[in-house]
Amino acid sequence: SRTTGKVIKCQAAVAWEPNVPMVIEEIEVAPPQKNEIRIKVIATGVCHSDLYHLFEGKHKDGFPAVLGHEGAGVVESVGPGVTEFKPGDKVIPLFVSQCKECRFCKSPKTNLCEKSWSTERYAQMSNTDTRFSCRGKPVLQFMGTSTFSEYTVLNQIAVAKIHDDAPLNRVCLLGCGISTGYGAAINTAKVEPGSVCAVFGMGAVGLAAVMGCKNAGASRIIAVDINEQKFEKAKVFGATDFVNPKAHKKPINEVLTDMTNGGVDYSLECVGNVAVMRSALESCVKGWGVSVLVGWTDLHDFSARPIQLIAGKTWKGSLFGGFKGKDSIPKLVLDYMAGRIKLEEFVTHTVSLEQINDAIQLMKTGGCIRTIVNVSK
């Protein structure tokens, strides 16, 4: 195309510093280098990790950055050495890469990748290397992706090619939140038919976890949230029981233990709060209960009494739902297109890139499940 090999000037939402609204700026996006792909971003979701970086993590070396990591787009051009992609391909950027060569990629036990941006820089949430600049300064690529920009550049190991007919303004949600919650239930917890589950937090990730429990054949799925307005939505995804911890005098783990004859078989924490993580563990039945940490946070230690684990419970964590991105995301897109998983039902708002701060505000106040940002035509 006419832009191949050239710097592209485009609109992006730049987070110049923590705790300050993003600014729509004209940025410069360099052409893809060896093994890289430049993508025109069509749509992106707004995920809690974007907020986390801006308002909670606030690492000074993680700015300025273009946030956004839950997107979908079309390949604009490819750099030298790229054979897997061509201009026009529909793709989803992956914040967890899959190089297929490192010891993690070669193991069926994990979806981590040694070549990911995250290997060294969890706190900053980006690599130092970037293809973005604005006003003569380098701008970091958040989680290696940066979907709050009309164009972005990624290494080919961090991109999944998807079906040509996939609606990008829906399947973008598979780039993080929905895959994360769904996979935490299916892959990490390995929920079994007939089991009893509890999911803590009814944001998009928690609702996706509910959907995973249902698809895995759970007989009871207890939705736990302090915002009872979320319970109608939880029902849509398959929740059978609803508990507001604030409506009870005793701790939530005791409430759940009473409801389930000793505790749930599986619990999933989808909030990113260490106190809730403990409650989720304590809500599991002894002997075989499994509790999975899904919510993202890196600010505090978690704690529990050793007897919880000695008595036979298992405490696990899940990143990106345990999905190896290149292998699994194209399949999840097909699952959506075949009606096996829901995406439409997560979307409560749609905005333009200019309204990105409104989208952030909506999420901060719990006023949305997922807001879709239409980034490009």
Catalytic residue among 47, 113, 197, 284: 47
Catalytic annotation present for 270: no
Q: Is 300 a catalytic residue?
A: no
- Choose the catalytic residue: 53, 116, 146, 283: 53
For 182, the token pair is 């769904």
Q: Is 59 a catalytic residue?
A: no
Residue 280 CA to its chain's centroid (Å): 20
Give me the amino acid identity at 145.
T
Q: E-assigned strands of the chain?
A: 8-15, 23-29, 36-45, 65-66, 71-78, 90-93, 132-134, 137-141, 151-155, 159-161, 196-200, 220-224, 241-243, 266-269, 290-293, 314-317, 347-352, 370-374
Q: How far is CA 236 from CA 214, 230, 296, 354, in A?
A: 11, 10, 25, 31
Q: How far apart are CA 36 and CA 21, in angstroms?
A: 30
> Residues near 154 by Cβ (< 8 Å), separated by ≥ 6?
36, 37, 39, 93, 94, 144, 145
Q: Is 99 a catalytic residue?
A: no
Give the active site residue among 10, 176, 213, 368. Answer: 176
- Cα(132)–Cα(148) distance, integer angstroms: 12
Beta carbons within 10 angstroms of residue 98's beta carbon: 25
Active-site hit among 10, 48, 49, 126: 49
- Compute the CA torsion angle 88, 91, 93, 96 (nearest 10 deg): -140
Report how far apart the first and last C-alpha atoms of the chain are (Å, whole number). Answer: 17
Listed residue (143, 173, 186) closest to 292, CA to CA: 186
Known active-site residue 47:
yes
Catalytic residue, chosen from 10, 48, 69, 113, is: 69
Q: Which residues of 188-218 are buried (b: 16+ CB within 10 A; e: fewer)?
A: bbebeeebbbbbbbbbbbbbbbbbbbbbbeb
Residues catalogued as catalytic: 47, 49, 53, 69, 176
